[in-house]
């Protein structure tokens, strides 16, 4: 069996982002890399969105970028300007294509379908496959989205809707999310924050049909694409292994209160690339501890008081857009943290501390 200097387990978002970053910065000129990925073919399977608070390698995979968004609860709508930190959407199909096209030119990079095909003994491993993703009773952000095309102009493509809480909450936390790519095309998602045991929340197709036809009042449309997923709002507990670090979702790159992961993965890839020569002795990259602390309180509040969450999310967006975007993208300073915390209902949050 062949030996490699590095092995990446899982050629998804984190695995490929890291391989691309290493290749781009010529870190694989004299080193070999095996990527272990079971999928037969790469095709669009996700739409990654985030506020651009950092530069990244995938500007040419952006499907659409917005400078404005809305959030609403019943009878209240807020418009928010994010010109300085645009909200970007990446098409995973373009992302996979760009990376595969680039790395296949490097003969030091090889793909395998199964870890048993490579000798792992003397390699350094970057693992993006979680041990504990079947934890159904913890909180998850689970959702399904369809990209629809309307026969007439319907959408305002300059503004997206981050959260529409004006919908059935079923004693849980539920919102719709709409990304208008053009006047006739949009991705519409139904999103829940709950455990995964309650199957009554998972009739996503019915929820989407009802929202599109009865709330948005669109009657003539076709569905071009569908994505369904669940993001764990807890950090998987992978067993620590010598000469191995976890990356991506498995490496704790998900922001627990929001599910945003993509840009954290890019930051992690850059950090690993900068430290690759000394990776065995390098401190593990993580999202700052203060966010884990605050997010865990937030999720406890959410679990105990789902009926209050629409209002709490809505209130978070009172005040400066820069502050809330920095906070949600884990880039806030202490004053911004205080500003966000001060908008939360004190008693409900304090109760979860003890
Ligand atoms: C549908 C969807 C939409 C999302 N949208 C957003 C978003 O808008 N913004 C955002 O910030 N985050 C988003 N996320 C969260 C996060 O960015 C993605 O889940 C992202 O793909 C995580 O990257 P990853 O590499 O950790 O996992 P993945 O991209 O899932 O990669 C893991 C890879 O491991 C492979 N694999 C599985 N088992 C094995 C095995 N035994 N051996 C080897 N390989 C294996 C899989 O085939 C896969 O390719 C979304 C998640 C989903 C599911």
- How many A from CA of 229 to the centre of ligand 1? 9
Q: Which residue has the higher pLDDT, 179 or 130?
A: 179
Q: Pick the range with the lowest mean pLDDT from 235-249, 251-265, 287-301.
A: 235-249
Mean pLDDT of all residues in 172-177 = 97
* Average pLDDT over all residues of the chain: 94
Q: Which residue has the higher pLDDT, 169 or 344?
A: 169
Residue closest via CA to ligand 1's atom 5 equals 48
Give backbone dihedrals phi and psi of 81, rounded to 5 degrees, phi first: -95, 130
What's the confidence (pLDDT) of residue 1? 83
pLDDT beyond 70 at 134: no
Asked if residue 229 lies in contact with residue 46, where contact means CB atoms within 8 angstroms, the answer is yes
pLDDT attached to residue 354? 67
Q: How confident is the model at residue 154 (pLDDT cuts 50, 70, 90)?
A: very high
Question: 251 CB less than 6 Å from ligand 1?
Answer: no
What residue ranges do the domains of the chain occupy?
2-71+92-132+234-281, 140-232, 289-351
266 lines ligand 1 (CB under 6 A): no
Ligand 1, pocket-test mutation among 179, 248, 329, most atoms within 8 A of CB: 248
pLDDT digits (tens, 9 = 90+) for 250-287: 999 999 999 999 999 999 999 999 999 999 999 999 99
pLDDT at 238: 74
Instruction: Please check the confidence at residue 351 and state whether its pLDDT lies above 90.
Output: no
Q: How confident is the model at residue 240 (pLDDT cuts 50, 70, 90)?
A: confident
pLDDT at 137: 79
Mutation choice for ligand 1 from 20, 261, 285, 287, CB with most ligand atoms inside 8 A: 261
Please give the pLDDT value at position 131. 75
pTM: 0.96
CA–CA distance from 44 to each of 13, 18, 99, 224 (Å)?
12, 19, 13, 12
Residue-level pLDDT at 224 = 97
pLDDT for 352 equals: 75
Asked whether the beta carbons of 43 and 118 are under 8 A apart, the reply is no
pLDDT at 345: 85
The pLDDT tens digits for 84-122 are: 999 999 999 999 999 999 999 999 999 999 999 999 999
Q: Please give the pLDDT value at position 144.
A: 98
What average pLDDT does this structure show over 296-302?
Answer: 92
Distance 30 CA to ligand 1 centre (A): 29
Q: Where are the beta strands (DSSP E) in 120-269?
A: 124-127, 140-150, 159-164, 173-180, 185-194, 221-232, 244-246
Residue 235: pLDDT band with limits 50, 70, 90: confident
Q: Do 78 and 70 touch, CB atoms closer than 8 A?
A: yes
227 lines ligand 1 (CB under 6 A): yes
Dist. CA 31–CA 307, nearest whole Å:
53
pLDDT, position 350: 79
**Torsion of Cα atoms, 69 then 72 then 75 then 80, to 10°:** -30
In angstroms, the CA 193 to CA 73 distance is 16
Q: What is the helix (H) or strand (E) element at residue 90, kind and residue range?
A: strand 87-91
Q: What confidence category does residue 133 fall into, taking pLDDT thresholds of 50, 70 and 90?
A: low
For 330, phi then psi, to 5°, come to 45, 45
**Predicted local confidence at residue 293, as pLDDT:** 92
Q: Has residue 353 got a pLDDT over 90?
A: no
Chain CA centroid to CA 140, Å: 12
Query: Residues 169, 75, 165, CA angle at the centre, nearest 5°?
Result: 25
Kind plus residue range of the DSSP H or E element containing 72: strand 68-73
Q: How many CB atoms lie within 10 A of CB 352?
A: 16
On whether the 2-71+92-132+234-281 domain is CATH 3.50.50.60, my answer is yes
């Amino acid at each position: 069996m062949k030996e490699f200097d590095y092995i990446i387990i899982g050629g998804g978002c984190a695995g490929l982002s890291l391989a691309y970053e290493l290749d781009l910065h010529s870190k694989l000129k004299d080193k070999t890399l095996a990527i272990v990925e079971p999928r037969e073919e790469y095709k669009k399977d996700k739409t990654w969105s985030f506020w651009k608070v950092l530069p990244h390698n995938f500007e040419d995979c952006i499907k659409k970028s917005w400078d404005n968004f809305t959030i609403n609860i019943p009878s209240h709508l807020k418009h928010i300007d994010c010109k300085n930190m645009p909200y970007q959407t990446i098409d995973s199909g373009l992302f996979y294509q760009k990376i595969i096209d680039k790395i296949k030119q490097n003969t030091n990079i090889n793909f395998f379908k199964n870890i048993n095909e490579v000798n792992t003994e003397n390699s350094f491993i970057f693992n993006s496959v979680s041990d504990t993703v079947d934890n159904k009773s913890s909180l998850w952000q689970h959702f399904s989205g369809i990209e629809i095309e309307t026969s007439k102009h319907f959408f305002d493509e300059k503004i997206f809707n981050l959260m529409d809480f004006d919908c059935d909450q079923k004693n849980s936390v539920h919102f719709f999310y709409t990304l208008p790519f053009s006047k006739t095309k949009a991705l519409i998602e139904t999103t829940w924050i709950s455990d995964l045991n309650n199957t009554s929340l998972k009739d996503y197709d019915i929820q989407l049909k009802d929202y599109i036809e009865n709330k948005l009042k669109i009657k003539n449309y076709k569905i071009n694409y569908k994505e369904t997923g669940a993001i764990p709002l807890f950090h998987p507990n992978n067993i620590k292994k010598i000469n191995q670090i976890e990356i991506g979702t498995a490496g704790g790159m998900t922001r627990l209160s929001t599910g945003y992961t993509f840009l954290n993965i890019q930051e992690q890839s850059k950090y690993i690339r900068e430290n690759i020569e000394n990776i065995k002795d390098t401190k593990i990259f993580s999202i700052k501890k203060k966010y884990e602390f605050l997010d865990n309180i937030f999720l406890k509040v959410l679990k105990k008081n789902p009926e209050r969450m629409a209002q709490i999310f809505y209130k978070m967006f009172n005040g400066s857009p820069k502050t809330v975007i920095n906070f949600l993208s884990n880039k806030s300073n202490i004053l911004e943290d205080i500003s966000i915390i001060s908008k939360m209902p004190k008693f409900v949050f304090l109760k979860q501390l003890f």
